[in-house]
Amino acid sequence: MSDTKVYRASTTAPVNIAVVKYWGKRDAKLNLPTNSSLSVTLSQADLRTLTTASCSAAYKDDVLLLNGEPSDLTGARTQACLRELRTRRAALEDKDASLPKLSAMRLLLVSENNFPTAAGLASSAAGFAALVRAIADLYELPSSPTELSLIARQGSGSACRSLFGGYVAWQMGTQADGLDSQAVEVAPASHWPEMRALILVASAAKKGVSSTSGMQQTVATSGLFQQRIADVVPANMKRMEEAVAARDFAAFAEVTMRDSNSFHATCADTYPPIFYMNDVSRAAVRAVEAINAAAGQTVAAYTFDAGPNAVVYYLEENKDTVLGAFYPLLEKLDGWKEGAKGLKSTVQF
């Protein structure tokens, strides 16, 4: 019977790791940021969300299954994404009466991460990017990744950057309606195919202070933050775009490490202070410094998000130097044994 027909689409979306960090909202409802950001999208083979969206007149409610468990779909941000996607589908149906009325049907969303959820590995970024693209595919929307980024952004800010592979900028925009706060491709992954990332899982536990509340506290209380958004980030965005364009790893690495340090300094300058990095994280910083000093040039760059895990960028040609330096350290240092268990293999781009 036609009224029980199930329409279905599946997609995957990768994790992205920012090298110029998003931290601060100027509009919490629309997820409009106080600064632009730039990220590198990791390979789908390593860290990704797989989402299947289906709809049917026979479905009674919207349902989300995340890693096999029923999950909340009623949050304002998820609802904003669903509303926007249904509105776009309804506009297509209004124009073409032969299209099935999918916009009126309930949705079943089945989503799976191949990495720990909410462990500071940007699961919300891949999650919302996959959710938006799966539904957009189901609805056969003629939307570009940049157009979809406007919707994914409302689910989770960093999700807008996971609609693209490679090197991606989220332009903060200036409009109050957020229509210019979108992701654009800076360069495809193929532009710099030697880039690699090593992920050190210092802790796979759920993070203490959520990004949303952490950044609200930083915006409200940190003086250093004002300098970061006015001067530091605009300069880092420019330098980073130039470094990527020129495939200049030393420049890429310096901006990446400086921006991570600046972000964590504003967290420490928040009142009360927020600490995402721990002793294992700080040992990773020292390890990267030792690797670069021994190599006599910059061959590795660390960065940390809203959690203790380190991401270390390096080029394939320096694989033996970087990984070779990390393995003995993992054995030698107290506190590294646990980190070693979580050592992920290198991520190909």
DSSP state of 347: E
Among 21, 86, 89, 239, binds ligand 2P0 (CB under 6 A): 21
Please list, in sequence order, all residues whose beta carbon lies within 8 angstroms of the beta carbon of residue 343, skipping any fewer than 6 positions away: 198, 199, 200, 201, 326, 330
State the minimum distance, in angstroms, from the CB of residue 25 to ligand 2P0: 7
Among 35, 158, 171, 256, binds ligand 2P0 (CB under 6 A): 158
Q: Which of 17-25, 188-196, 226-234, 243-251 is the region at the interface with ligand 2P0 (rule: CB under 6 A)?
A: 17-25
Angle between helices 279-295 and 319-332 (to 10 degrees): 140
State the minimum distance, in angstroms, from the CB of residue 170 to ligand 2P0: 8
CA-to-CA dists, residue 80 to 6, 156, 328, angstroms:
24, 11, 48
Does 31 bind ligand 2P0 (CB under 6 A)? Our answer is yes
User: Residue of minimal CB distance from ligand 2P0?
Assistant: 157
| Dihedral sign of CA atoms 225, 230, 234, 236 in order | negative
Site string for ligand 2P0, 83-112 (x = CB under 6 A): ------------------------------
Task: Please report the beta strands in 118-181, taking only residues with DSSP state E, as ranges in sequence order.
Answer: 167-171
List phi, psi (to 5°) of 164: -120, 155
Among 124, 143, 154, 309, binds ligand 2P0 (CB under 6 A): 124
Do 343 and 330 form a contact (C-beta atoms < 8 A)?
yes
Give the C-alpha separation, 229 to 22, whole Å.
Answer: 10
* Residue placing its CB nearer to ligand 2P0 in the complex, 11 or 211: 211
Q: Which of 5-13, 21-29, 54-62, 308-316 is the region at the interface with ligand 2P0 (rule: CB under 6 A)?
A: 21-29
Binding positions for ligand 2P0, rule: CB under 6 A: 18, 21-23, 31, 37, 124, 156-158, 211-212, 305-306
